[in-house]
């Protein structure tokens, strides 16, 4: 791996723990103004200092994130359909590599739809994007099992989807937690980060999901709704950081969550 590629990876995955807390705010690219993400800038500002990377589209990056931001950016470069379309897998690359370089991002991300009508197109697009990424020194994150594919989110399906993405050259893969997740990790030779999915019943449930994923070998999280749809997004992302980077237990993370809810946030530099 060339220096530029390694440097971009190291900016996302913190060298001390080798893991990452990515904050996903890219939902609008197919869902429109999702609850509590109606104004991305407003949602992002308080939690941004606690993210190791942010995942979004070029439109939101340009409109809602100041260019002075120090947090690395993972740029979603696929899209083209919305929740109103009957087939969410009908995606294509919507943002070229040249644009990702111009925006000085740390990685590009695209969805692949294994087992869906547009499996072939999205997988070959991943292969092509990886080839461009290798030339540019740009890591490519493959995102598996979005939308209807979520229904198939068991270890057998996710192992297949993640392995195929890695075989096509993805440098990291975003997937979902499932029972038997360690099997998914075992079969995937590149780092796996775990999305949260729709808001769970409680903050505790989201912390538990994160804990289980890390215990079973995830290299981090790329979580959205379970952070910014929480009533306490800053406390929540800080509790998740403790699990990901400090290997805190769920109990310890919950204690931190409660303490942080009650107290004003300290300077991010003083946190993990
Ligand atoms: C979905 O396509 C998006 O890529 C989201 O970034 C991803 O689902 C993670 O967000 P959440 O934790 O809300 O599921």
The answer to whether residue 258 is domain-embedded is no
The DSSP secondary structure of the chain, one letter per residue, reads --HHHHHHHHHHSBTTTTBEEEEE--THHHH-S-TT-SSHHHHHHHHGGG-SEEEE-HHHHHHHS-TT--S-EEEE-EE---TTSS-TT--EE-S-HHHHHHTT-SEEEEEE-TTSTTHHHHHHHHHHHHHHHHHHT--EEEEE--GGGGGG-SHHHHHHHHHHHHHTT-SEEEEE--TTHHHHHHT-SS-EEEE--S--S-HHHHHHHHHHHHHTT--EEEE-HHHHTSS-HHHHHHHHHHHHHH---HHHHHHHHHHHHHS----GGG--
**Mean pLDDT, the chain, whole residue set:** 94
Q: What's the pLDDT band for 1 if we cut at 50, 70, 90? A: confident
Q: What's the pLDDT band for 266 if we cut at 50, 70, 90? A: low
The answer to whether residue 221 is domain-embedded is yes
pLDDT at 264: 62
The span from the CA of 4 to the CA of 22, in Å, is 20
pLDDT at 148: 62
The answer to whether residue 260 is domain-embedded is no
The answer to whether residue 265 is domain-embedded is no
The DSSP secondary structure of 88-112, one letter per residue, reads TT--EE-S-HHHHHHTT-SEEEEEE
Whether this model's pTM surpasses 0.75: yes
Pair 122, 144: CB distance under 8 Å:
no
Torsional sign, CA 184, 188, 191, 193: negative
Enumerate residues lining ligand 1, CB below 6 A: 24, 26-27, 55, 143, 146, 195-197, 222-226
How many domains, the chain? 1
The two structure tokens encoding residue 32: 């429109």
CATH no. for residue 188? 3.20.20.70
The answer to whether residue 17 is domain-embedded is yes
Enclosing domain of residue 98: 3-230
pLDDT at 272: 45
The answer to whether residue 9 is domain-embedded is yes
pLDDT tens-digit map of 214-247:
999 999 999 999 999 999 999 999 999 999 999 9
The span from the CA of 116 to the CA of 66, in Å, is 37
The answer to whether residue 143 is domain-embedded is yes
pLDDT tens-digit map of 97-149:
999 999 999 999 999 999 999 999 999 999 999 999 999 999 999 999 766 65
Show the CA angle centred on residue 219, arms to residues 40 and 14, nearest 5°: 75
Ligand 1 pocket test: which of 177, 222, 240, 244 has the largest number of ligand atoms within 8 Å of its C-beta?
A: 222
CA of 28 to the centre of ligand 1 (A): 10
Q: What's the pLDDT band for 67 if we cut at 50, 70, 90? A: very high
pLDDT at 263: 81
pLDDT at 149: 57
Ligand 1 pocket test: which of 60, 213, 224, 230 has the largest number of ligand atoms within 8 Å of its C-beta?
A: 224
The DSSP secondary structure of 178-192, one letter per residue, reads -TTHHHHHHT-SS-E
The answer to whether residue 90 is domain-embedded is yes
Q: What's the pLDDT band for 61 if we cut at 50, 70, 90? A: very high
């Amino acid at each position: 791996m060339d220096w530029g590629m390694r440097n971009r990876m190291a900016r996302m995955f913190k060298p001390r723990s080798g893991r990452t807390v990515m904050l996903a705010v890219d939902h609008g690219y197919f869902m429109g103004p999702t609850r509590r993400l109606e104004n991305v800038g407003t949602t992002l500002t308080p939690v941004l200092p606690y993210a190791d990377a942010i995942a979004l589209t070029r439109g939101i990056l340009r409109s809602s994130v100041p260019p002075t931001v120090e947090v690395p950016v993972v740029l979603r470069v696929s899209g083209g359909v919305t929740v109103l379309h009957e087939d969410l897998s009908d995606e294509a690359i919507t943002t070229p590599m040249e644009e990702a370089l111009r925006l000085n991002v740390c990685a590009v991300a695209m969805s692949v739809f294994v087992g869906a009508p547009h499996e072939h197109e999205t997988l070959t697009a991943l292969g092509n994007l990886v080839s461009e990424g290798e030339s540019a020194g740009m890591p490519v994150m493959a995102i598996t099992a979005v939308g209807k594919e979520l229904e198939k989110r068991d270890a057998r399906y996710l192992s297949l989807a993640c392995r195929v993405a890695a075989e096509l050259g993805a440098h990291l893969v975003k997937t979902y937690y499932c029972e038997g997740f360690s099997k998914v990790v075992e079969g995937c030779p590149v780092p796996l980060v775990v999305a949260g999915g729709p808001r769970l019943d409680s903050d505790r449930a989201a912390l538990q999901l994160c804990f289980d994923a890390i215990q079973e070998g995830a290299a981090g999280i790329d979580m959205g709704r379970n952070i910014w749809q929480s009533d306490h997004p800053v406390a929540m992302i800080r509790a998740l950081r403790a699990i990901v980077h400090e290997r805190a237990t769920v109990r310890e993370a919950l204690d931190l969550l409660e303490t942080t809810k009650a107290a004003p946030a300290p300077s991010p530099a003083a946190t993990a």
